[in-house]
Amino acid sequence: MIGSWLRALFRNPRRDRPEAHRAGAWGEETAARWLERKGYRILGRNVRFGSRCELDLVARSPAPDALVFVEVKTRRSERFGRPMAAVDRAKRRALGRAAHQYLRRLKVRPPRIRFDVVEVVGTPGGEPPVVRHIENAFSPGPGYRVP
């Protein structure tokens, strides 16, 4: 019989993912509802281009009219810092590549694009979450151009 310490040593990390996925999906749903209440129209959720390029939310802002690529960061608490801190340079570049792919598929170019971050702090079923919408949170970096 295998001891619990040995099972923990050989545990499958993929089995632990569903909890994180559920929390992430809850955060994205919370962010989408928050944005809709502010007048945004959600155009897409979890838009994927390959295995590494994903846009959490794509929305149209109320005014001024802009296409907004939204990165949602969900955390249980801010014990280790703000969720926005997880949007590092590599993540911004990946979001820029995904946005580029999205824009290439559009028939009409939007007048403006923007990259926002929505922080969701809380847990499903717990107290109401803290939601922060950071508009124009970052630019995709030098060398980026709209296709």
Residue 97 makes CB contacts below 8 A (sequence gap 6+) with 49, 53
**Within a 10 A sphere around the Cβ of 36, how many other Cβ atoms?**
12
pLDDT of residue 87: 95
Q: Of all residues in the chain, what percent carry a pLDDT higher than 70?
A: 83
Q: What is 38-134's CATH topology?
A: Trna Endonuclease; Chain: A, domain 1 (3.40.1350)
- The string over 103-131, giving b where at least 16 C-beta atoms fall within 10 Å of a residue's C-beta and e elsewhere, is beeeeeeeeebbbbbbbbbbeeeeeebeb
| Domain residue spans of the chain | 38-134
Q: What does the pLDDT average to over 19-39?
A: 93
Residues 6+ apart with CB under 8 A from 108: none
Instruction: Note the pTM of the prediction, 2 decimals.
Output: 0.83
